[in-house]
Structure 1
Amino acid sequence: MVSPSRQLRGGEEDERRRWAPGSTNSAEKALRVGKGGGGVKGRVSVTSRRATEVRVALPPNDSARSPHWTTTSSGPCAAGGGRAGGRLAAMAESLPPEMLSYILSFLPLSDQKEASLVNRAWYYAAQIALREIDVRYNIPVTAASLSSIKRLSRRHVSCVSLINVDGSSDANSVLQSISYYLGPHLQSLSLGGGSLTEASFVRLIISCPGLQVLDLSGCNSLFMSGKLLDQPETVQQVQKALANLRDLNLSGLRHLADSSFNRLSSCTPKLERLSLARCHITFDPHRSRSAQPGSSAILSFPNILHFLKERASHLVALDLSGTNLTPTALHALGQVVGLHLRELVLRGCRDISTEAVAVLCRQQRDLTSLDLSGCSELADGALLVVSRGLQSLQHLRLEKLQQLTDSGFSSLHWLRELRSLDLAECCRVSGRELAKALEFPRGPPPRLASLRLAYCSLLKDASVISLAQGLGSSLKVLDLSSCMSLTNSSLLAISANLPQLTVLRLAWCKEITDSGLLGLADPGEEKDRGKKLNKNFGDMGFFLPQLPPEPLAPLESPSQETPNKQLTPSLLLLRALQELDLTACSKLTDNSLAKVLKFPRLRQLSLSLILEFSDVGLVAVAQGCPSLEHLALSHCGRLSDGGWARAASFWRRLQHLNLSNCNQLTEQTLATIRQACQQLKVLDVSMSQGISMAAVEHFQAQLPQNLGTQRGLGTYLTIGTIFPGAREGPALPTCPSSVGDSLARIEGPEELLPGAAPWVS
């Protein structure tokens, strides 16, 4: 694990060095406790595991300008502290666990784990966060997990996902261990894609009396025989265990039938959310009449409709994506008496018509989330009826609607509560009417926090500028990937008007240049473009080719640029950025990337396919973005071992790293990464010709065999499957004949079980 280091800004860096000599890894968070303005201000920092210290800054009163720092040491660094050290240690121990938990809640999960190693009080405070339902432990079903499952029981883990469940003896042992040690505290259990037996499933469920979320997606072996829960005594036991179940995921089940669905659903009297996505549902009324009630062969929509009528008062979310839902069936669903859905997902239901959506909007006016992506029959009329009929809507997804045009957005301003809008791959949307609909004061004060316009090929700069000006106070997520017509003008508008932006995706926006990132507007840019050939060949002839623009002076501040450049807002204004995607923005170079990419909060960055990105930019980005967890640098052919030797030490939080097709890298980079990036979970070095299979195997051999023992709550690496035909030897061929000739991918699950040995997929 990596100590929770977080770069401090401005003068705080000097202050940190002054009161923490010799310490380079610290996590610092400002704290304000209390009600109103009369709370107590403080600041807490956690250092690395070897020299564990707790630093608390408490000003004597709110008007104090400079806090009085006190340092509390524990562990090896606490020795010889005398009475003062003991008094400070007692102060840290006496902080309420609620206060400590609040402080730690600002840190990423990995840093919270490291903070739990400070002392006993911090350990228990961290467990509150680690027990949250959204912290999922992915447990590989192997014999190596048995010892760690027992240790996890002491943390009262509430959310577990089992990987590679089958009918083997090892799997049965793991399931029994989970039932005994984790079952009493589990609230969420995922068995997605597993092949467990019916008996094992029943034993596992009975041991989880507090279960609220159950994921059985893709567990076809459970329903293949059609006899799941066919014994009355078994049904009673399972019904008692699932009495509080709120969320049931049955998506992707090929063998789910009426009888098995009825028996399982009868055990969940408080069910609120149901997913039947991609299940084989029969909508033919003639076939359903001929089938026996509670058929063991098919899953019919009339049977599902009967279930909806029985549970209408409880059900709030339904997912029927990919089920070929018919307009008649959608009409019947909306007419269920007492059914007031809040969330409805109909993704990929291609037969749905605009008329059916209109009926649904009249009958289900309480919807707050609606997904109609991939419903290819829908056009502008569908968006018009949604805008006028569902005025409480907060989340709307309309991806891949090829018939949707700008005309459909004329009534969008009626959606006063809209928080997120997804229009990706709507190829006929230019954004003009969208900008007008969201413009204040015609519509309500903008509240839109997420907007996806990826692959909208008609989107132009004018629309993006209008959207940025209208949504400046609210927008946090903006996806403009593959909008290839966008230029620096769009980027300048984004930088100037969207200060709250946390996610910005500009992949394949190839017209963005260094000037756009740096905020340098060239007044003569349009005039200097010169003549270009067009499709009608009207301007065919001979003319002098344009000279390439002069490169910007390396690593100078914008104020030192050439006088014909006019200073405008740069990307540096987006201080809240946590994710940035500049994939294939091929006109970018080190000149801008090294100056602009200075975001202490940035966690995800993609610079793949930027051919001019070199070691100079790599080191500068490493210094400016020390909190990166996901980094993609594939096809950056100018990166070398020397650059990584200088940059890797700044990225101790790195978890996912893509270095595919970086041909200058060798096994020396692997050694550097292994030493510096000890929190790494996924490493992709496929098609990197300088890295041989022998080097990859040596890298694997050097990985710790028991990270759970060496690093406490550790993360894990696994060696991915090598494609057939991969060659083994000291070096890979210069021009591989197939993808498998030079593929080596090292990867691991998102949050693997602490204490389990590395496993090979």
Structure 2
Amino acid sequence: MEESDGEDMTETPELPLEIIIYILSFLHASDRKEASLVCHSWYIASQDHCFQKNATFCFPASASSLELVRGLARRSNCSLRISQLDGFSVSRSLLLEVGLCLGSRVESLALPGSSITEASLLSLLPRLTSLRRLDLSGLDSLFMSGAFLSREEHRQQVRSALCGLEELDLSDLRYLSDLTFNRLTWCTPRLRRLSLAGCHIAFEFDPYQGCPVGAVEDSSALLSLRNLKKLLMEQKSTLIALDLSRTSITPESLRTIAQVQDLVLKELYLQGCKELTDYSMEILVKHQPGLLKLDISSCTELTSRSVDAVARGLKSLTHLSLSRNWKITEKGLADQLSVASLRSLDVSECLHVSGTEMVKGLKGSGAGRARLETLSLKSCTYIQMCSVLLHPMANTDV
């Protein structure tokens, strides 16, 4: 073996993984990404769970996902999105593993594209004692029979685990009824956010009983306005966000919700509620003046009268979506852009918006001008780009 000319051929010992992780912890995310290219060890260290904040782990119900679940046991908390669950043994084994290995570590759970059984879900939920967000959207298999949470012992177990749940997504459930809705929300007494988007809610008339909603006690076939109002009254001290998008809510029903005593909503989503009128918007802003986020996109009966009402009544508004409201014109947009708190405005596909009034609002000075961060003018075919003076900090989608 030839000797080198005075060079030391001794290899530098590799640093322990824990030391590399500690070193990387002093770097910003962009610098840590660059450091991960140094070598394989540094790449492995950069992928440590301590650097993964607010990460959601998405995986299907399969045998190979079992090892992933076991690996997540190192994390102090995690968010899961498990798809393709069914009633077969692989899904049951996976949910059992989630309950045993992660249990109190799971903060968020979503089960998209699944046909999960009640027995499988009830074997898991009582173990998720730290759950803050639960997404059951589209899980018709749970609610089709109407027997979900019908047993008192199951309700007690689920309530014990979910008493701290803050967000519940029940959107796009065709078979949600008064009975199942009441059982489930009894288990979640401190909700802050509730989504019923796309649900079949009987706001005015019960098609099964042939009478006005509310004349019959809890229905096993549909969800009624009476029961929704009951929930809002019970949880008014915590509930701040409500999503009723793509429902058949009527002006009178919106008025009923807005006037629930001591209910103070911060976010309201009414996308695609085609029966709403300008009058209903005026009532809404009168009784819910503290709204910060309002989505009234695709409410095709609304006109610029609604924009005027929002500009006058919601002085703390930060996000407003008027997208695809074809009757809205320039009128009122200047006043809307004088709301100093406004940060995001979406007027995409508002065909009669040219930008003239927006210029006046954006030219305002001092406190009398919105400091927009995002502005969407997508498909506004008559927009005059040469005349629209965009806010220097705005992220504009044209």
TM-score (norm 2): 0.89
Identity %: 36
Matched, 1:398 2:326: no
Indicate conservation of the 8 Å contact 1:272/1:315, yes or no. yes
Q: In the alignment, which residue of structure 1 is the partner of 2:212?
A: 287
CA deviation map 1:506-564 (0-9, x unaligned):
xxxxxxxxxxxxxxxxxxxxxxxxxxxxxxxxxxxxxxxxxxxxxxxxxxxxxxxxxxx
Matched, 1:433 2:357: yes
Indicate conservation of the 8 Å contact 1:394/1:418, yes or no. yes
CA distance in 2, matches of 1:207, 1:156: 15
1:192 positional shift: 2.3
1:462 positional shift: 2.2
Structure 2: which amino acid aligns with 1:249? Answer: D
Matched, 1:479 2:374: no
CA distance in 2, matches of 1:417, 1:120: 43
172 and 367 in structure 1: CA distance in 2 versus 1, 3 angstrom threshold: same
Indicate conservation of the 8 Å contact 2:174/2:199, yes or no. yes
Identify the match of residue 51 of structure 2 among 129, 139, 152: 129
Indicate conservation of the 8 Å contact 2:35/2:42, yes or no. no
CA distance in 2, matches of 1:301, 1:113: 54
Matched, 1:322 2:246: yes
CA distance in 2, matches of 1:100, 1:205: 36
Q: In the alignment, which residue of structure 2 is the partner of 1:139?
A: 59
Matched, 1:93 2:13: no
CA deviation map 1:177-218 (0-9, x unaligned):
112112221000001231100010111111211100000000
SS of alignment partner, residue 187 of structure 1: strand
SS of alignment partner, residue 410 of structure 1: helix
320 and 446 in structure 1: CA distance in 2 versus 1, 3 angstrom threshold: closer
CA deviation map 1:463-501 (0-9, x unaligned):
33x22xxx11x21x2111xxxxxxxxxxxxxxxxxxxxx
Identify the match of residue 380 of structure 2 among 456, 460, 474: 456
255 and 80 in structure 1: CA distance in 2 versus 1, 3 angstrom threshold: same
SS of alignment partner, residue 242 of structure 2: strand
401 and 112 in structure 1: CA distance in 2 versus 1, 3 angstrom threshold: farther
CA distance in 2, matches of 1:113, 1:361: 51
User: Runs of 5+ in structure 1 lacking a partner?
Assistant: 1-77, 481-761
94 and 113 in structure 1: CA distance in 2 versus 1, 3 angstrom threshold: closer
SS of alignment partner, residue 407 of structure 1: coil
Matched, 1:237 2:157: yes
5 Å-filtered alignment, 1:502-513, equals none
Indicate conservation of the 8 Å contact 2:20/2:45, yes or no. no
Q: In the alignment, which residue of structure 2 is the partner of 1:364?
A: 288
Structure 1: which amino acid aligns with 2:180? Answer: S
CA distance in 1, matches of 2:168, 2:224: 18
CA distance in 2, matches of 1:148, 1:404: 50
1:118 positional shift: 4.0
Q: In the alignment, which residue of structure 1 is the partner of 2:29?
A: 105
1:106 positional shift: 4.0
Identify the match of residue 273 of structure 1 among 175, 193, 201: 193
Indicate conservation of the 8 Å contact 2:277/2:302, yes or no. yes
1:152 positional shift: 2.3
Identify the match of residue 207 of structure 1 among 103, 115, 127: 127
1:317 positional shift: 0.2
CA distance in 1, matches of 2:26, 2:262: 41
Indicate conservation of the 8 Å contact 1:258/1:294, yes or no. yes
1:396 positional shift: 0.4
CA distance in 2, matches of 1:333, 1:356: 11
1:167 positional shift: 1.2
1:156 positional shift: 4.1
298 and 170 in structure 1: CA distance in 2 versus 1, 3 angstrom threshold: same
CA deviation map 1:308-337 (0-9, x unaligned):
011111100000001111000111111111
Structure 2: which amino acid aligns with 1:342? Answer: K
Q: In the alignment, which residue of structure 2 is the partner of 1:305?
A: 229
Structure 2: which amino acid aligns with 1:289? Answer: G
CA distance in 1, matches of 2:171, 2:36: 33
CA deviation map 1:630-652 (0-9, x unaligned):
xxxxxxxxxxxxxxxxxxxxxxx
Q: In the alignment, which residue of structure 2 is the partner of 1:224?
A: 144
Q: In the alignment, which residue of structure 2 is the partner of 1:296?
A: 220
Identify the match of residue 377 of structure 1 among 301, 304, 315: 301
CA distance in 2, matches of 1:206, 1:271: 18
1:373 positional shift: 0.2
5 Å-filtered alignment, 1:524-535, equals none
RMSD (Å) for aligned C-alpha atoms: 2.6
Q: Which has the larger radius of gyration?
A: 1
1:166 positional shift: 1.1
215 and 335 in structure 1: CA distance in 2 versus 1, 3 angstrom threshold: same
CA distance in 2, matches of 1:418, 1:102: 36
Identify the match of residue 339 of structure 2 among 390, 398, 415: 415
CA distance in 1, matches of 2:284, 2:38: 50
Q: In the alignment, which residue of structure 2 is the partner of 1:347?
A: 271
1:172 positional shift: 1.2
CA distance in 1, matches of 2:384, 2:286: 35
Indicate conservation of the 8 Å contact 2:311/2:332, yes or no. no
Indicate conservation of the 8 Å contact 1:165/1:191, yes or no. yes
5 Å-filtered alignment, 1:71-90, equals 80-81=11-12
Indicate conservation of the 8 Å contact 1:156/1:182, yes or no. no
SS of alignment partner, residue 417 of structure 1: coil
Matched, 1:192 2:116: no
SS of alignment partner, residue 274 of structure 1: strand
SS of alignment partner, residue 261 of structure 2: coil
Structure 2: which amino acid aligns with 1:287? Answer: P
User: Runs of 5+ in structure 2 lacking a partner?
Assistant: 1-8, 206-210
Structure 1: which amino acid aligns with 2:225? Answer: F
Q: In the alignment, which residue of structure 2 is the partner of 1:249?
A: 169
1:414 positional shift: 3.5
Q: In the alignment, which residue of structure 1 is the partner of 2:86?
A: 166
